Homo-oligomer: A and B are copies of this chain.
Amino acid sequence: MILALDAMGGDFAPGEICLGAMVACSKYPDLEVILVGNGSLIEKAIEGAEPFVSKRIHIVHTDEYIAMNESPMVAFRKKKKASIRMAMEMVKSGDAQGCISAGNTGAVVAGGVLILGRIPGIDRPGLGVPIPLPNRITLLIDVGATIRCKPINLYQFAIMGEIYMRNTLGVKSPGVALLSNGEEEIKGDEVVCEARNMLAKADIDFMGYIEGKDIPLGVADVVVCDGFTGNVLLKFVEGIGDALYKLLKDEMEQRILPKVGFLFFLPMLKELWGRFDYEKYGGTPLLGVNGVVIKAHGRSKAKAIDSALKVARDFVVHRGVDLIRDGLDRGGM
């Protein structure tokens, strides 16, 4: 299997990105990775690789890349040789089975739609993040592909998320919930309310509305919301982790008695919080486009890139795109 990896996207590119490719190639003997970006920087980054690994890492050079603060649509149209764009074009041409980028989210979404196109019937794509909770993995969709949604978008996120969880992550009969500002039917605005009515008729295990408090409790396998809300939520979790950790450290310096407890406890807490940390999962599939596109977190280091490559690999192995296409056909959308 050949995957194209945008070597220039993310806060730690290209060093950590290349390292991640090396880690993944050392794990999966059938995997080949095309690193797209500045050739000389990439060469330097991978120069320590074992021959067993390096023979499966290919470099495609380009000088252009899209920065985090660029307007995705403008940059994507202007920079025909941007690393992220070239990686997507490899998927389109069949030179790669999937692509991964830790760069500009907007560019990944806009590019996915422009280069690969949408699956017939899909109105807008959705980014679905699998959040590892104590009792299950919950897919939160969308987390930033489609900022404001129409009812049909929320409906399609639900259907695509259900198919992804059932087939790629192996959840039998996933429970699908719609995020709202209350559990009662009278809650939600017209968009959420209309999506609810549509989902109630769909051939899935639809649980109706859930509230924000239900997400961490792991009540559903798929939680559907617009990209604005999902993005705010996901980043909020990140911030709580940072804030809580800082708070605990400050506390430790001020207290004497529980210090002994703290020393035992901090590593455990770190591990526990890690379960909430979506970076560990490493990759978010862009569902609804005609090809495998995985968005990795902007702060991704090698470990996260390795995970993102695994997500892409699983998506290819399970024929994720075909399953969504078939699922939509069957669903009579």
Residue numbers of A with Cβ under 8 A of B are 68-72, 105-106, 133-134, 144, 147-148, 179-182, 184, 186, 188-189, 191-192, 211-218, 225, 227-229, 231-240, 242-244, 246-248, 250-251, 255, 257-258, 260-265, 268-269, 272, 275-276
Contacts and interface: CB of A to CB of B under 8 A. Distances in A.
B261 A265 contact: yes
Nearest to A226: B228
Contacts of A264: 257-258, 260-262, 265
Contacts of A215: 236, 239
Given A144-B181, A184-B68, A264-B257, A236 B236 contact: yes
B258 A239 contact: no
A146 to B, nearest CB: 10
Given A69-B186, A264-B261, A213 B238 contact: yes
Number of identical monomers bound together in the oligomeric complex: 2
Contact of A189 (B147, B180, B244, B251): B147
A212 B227 contact: no
Nearest to A257: B264
Contact of A147 (B69, B181, B263, B272): B181
A243 B216 contact: yes
A116 B276 CA distance: 44
Given A184-B69, A262-B261, A272 B243 contact: no
Contacts of A69: 184, 186
Contacts of A234: 212
B225 A212 contact: no
B68 A232 contact: no
Given A105-B182, A212-B239, A216-B243, 9 more contacts: A69-B186, A181-B227, A214-B239, A233-B233, A236-B236, A251-B268, A260-B261, A261-B262, A261-B263
Contact of A148 (B189, B236, B250, B269): B189
Contacts of A228: 180-181, 189, 192, 229
Q: Which 7 A-B residue pairs are closest in the complex by CB-CB distance?
A: A261-B264, A213-B239, A212-B235, A212-B236, A216-B243, A181-B231, A212-B232
A228 B188 CA distance: 8
A236 B45 CA distance: 41
A293 to B, nearest CB: 19
Contacts of A212: 231-239
